[in-house]
């Protein structure tokens, strides 16, 4: 295992951004949609920080993970586990199913996959010829 500094830096920046959104924005488009858009990118970058993995397979796995979390919300998992009053559980798992969250997850992972494949990985593999 080797740490990829580019993805680790992106992970840290995204984590701080998500934390600031969670702390300072309680409602609205940024909290509910941009936060969901960014969280899949955060998970993707975190995985790429520590593991050399196929980008397309990782993007699919991250999207499926986000889909599973959203489906657990549809099943009211927090109520089933007796954690409906836990702020931390609500923050991590969410508390209500929203179809628009699925759209945000999909757009987030697709957007970043394109950026990753076209720019980040290209920049990391270029060599300078003198």
Residue 125 is predicted with a pLDDT of: 58
Output 123 or 48, whichever has higher pLDDT. Answer: 48
Length of the chain: 130
> 18: helix, coil or strand?
helix
pTM: 0.88
Buried b (16+ CB within 10 A) or exposed e, 55-90: eeebbebbbeebeebbebbeeebbeeeeeeeeeebe
CA distance 80 to 75: 8
Question: Residue 71: pLDDT above 70?
Answer: yes
Question: Residue 62: pLDDT above 70?
Answer: yes
């Amino acid at each position: 295992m080797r740490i990829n500094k580019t993805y680790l830096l992106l992970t840290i920046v995204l984590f701080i951004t998500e934390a600031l959104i969670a702390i300072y924005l309680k409602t609205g488009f940024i909290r509910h949609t941009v936060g969901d858009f960014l969280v899949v990118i955060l998970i993707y970058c975190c995985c790429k920080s520590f593991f050399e993995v196929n980008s397309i397979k990782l993007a699919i796995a991250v999207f499926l993970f986000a889909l599973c979390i959203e489906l657990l919300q549809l099943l009211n998992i927090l109520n089933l586990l007796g954690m409906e009053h836990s702020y931390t559980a609500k923050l991590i798992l969410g508390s209500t199913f929203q179809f628009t969250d699925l759209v945000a997850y999909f757009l987030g992972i697709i957007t970043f996959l394109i950026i990753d494949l076209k720019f980040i990985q290209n920049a990391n593999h270029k060599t300078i010829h003198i």
